[in-house]
Structure 1
Amino acid sequence: MFYALFVAIVVVALAASLAVVRFFDPAVHKILQRTLGPDLADAWRRYISFAILVAGISGGVRPWNLEQYLPPSAGKGSTQLDITGARWLLELWNALTETLRSIALIMLLFFLCSMMAYVIARSLELRRARELEAGKGGDTSGLE
């Protein structure tokens, strides 16, 4: 029964992670194309998808919480908990919420970094535009 619970938790974490990857893929692709350009956007999109999968599965599958369902080691006074329907539901719910929490942290970090990259790129574009205007204005004044 322990192995079935473990596999079910991995499946829940994997399914939730894949759903989040599919949901955020268009937004991530647009952001990466804008900040990095089309050449690097596809490679970084694959990396972000991989990071979401790894963070989701590692956050959702918590082996140290599942140890309570294993028989106690020799010399230890702890007892083994029974895996009931209520515990299944609770463990699967915890797996789902922890998966989403881990992914939310990754996505927050990604969006904060991309926002900073956008602001920096935008400020550089505005600075170049001002320099071009100042250069054109200086050239026309010399002709008059």
Structure 2
Amino acid sequence: MFFTLLLVTLVLAIFTAAIVARAFAKPIESILRRIVADDISYAWQRYLQFAIVVVGVSAGVRINDLERYITPPQWVKDAQIIQLTNERWALELYRTIIETLQGIAWMLLVFFAFALIAYVIVRIAEMKNGNSSAAKEP
């Protein structure tokens, strides 16, 4: 039963992360095309999609939390292994989706914060180049 839970949470986390990666593909592509040179922006976009899936899976499949279904707590005397009931299954699947989305949300927040800073820097550079080239023309 534990291996089934592990496999199902892994598949669910991959599926959820893949949906989020696909949903954010266009915004990420637009941002990177604006900030980074065209020839390398595609590589960065592919890397970010990969990172979304990796972060989503690592956040969604919580190995340390799943261990309680195969080993009893060591700090409690005469402790028993928690049984996997239907209610626990539902809770674990819900927790997998939420943790996957939460991990991806934090990653995207960091990405968009740095992208915003880079965008401001690019805009300032464009404004300086626009003003200096306009001043040189008669």
Unaligned residue ranges in structure 1 (runs of 5+): none
Q: Tell me the TM-score normalised to structure 1 length.
A: 0.89
User: For residues 123 and 73 of structure 1, do their structure 2 counterparts lie closer, same or farther at Cα, with a shift above 3 Å needed?
Assistant: closer
1:85 matched to 2:86? The reply is yes
CA offsets per residue over residues 7-51 of structure 1, 9 Å max, x none? 111111000000001100011111111111220111001110111
Give the Cα–Cα distance (whole angstroms) in 2 for the partners of residues 73 and 86 of structure 1: 20
Q: CA deviation at 1:67?
A: 1.3
Unaligned residue ranges in structure 2 (runs of 5+): none
| Partner residue, 2:34 | 34
Give the Cα–Cα distance (whole angstroms) in 2 for the partners of residues 97 and 120 of structure 1: 34
Q: CA deviation at 1:135?
A: 2.2
Q: Tell me the TM-score normalised to structure 2 length.
A: 0.93
Matches within 5 A, 1:71-110: 71-72=71-72, 77=77, 78-110=79-111
Q: Which runs of 4+ in 1 moved over 2 A?
A: 71-78, 133-136
- Higher Rg of the two aligned structures: 1
| Partner residue, 1:124 | 125
Give the Cα–Cα distance (whole angstroms) in 1 for the partners of residues 90 and 12 of structure 2: 12
- Percent same amino acid among aligned pairs? 36
Q: Give aligned pairs, total.
A: 137
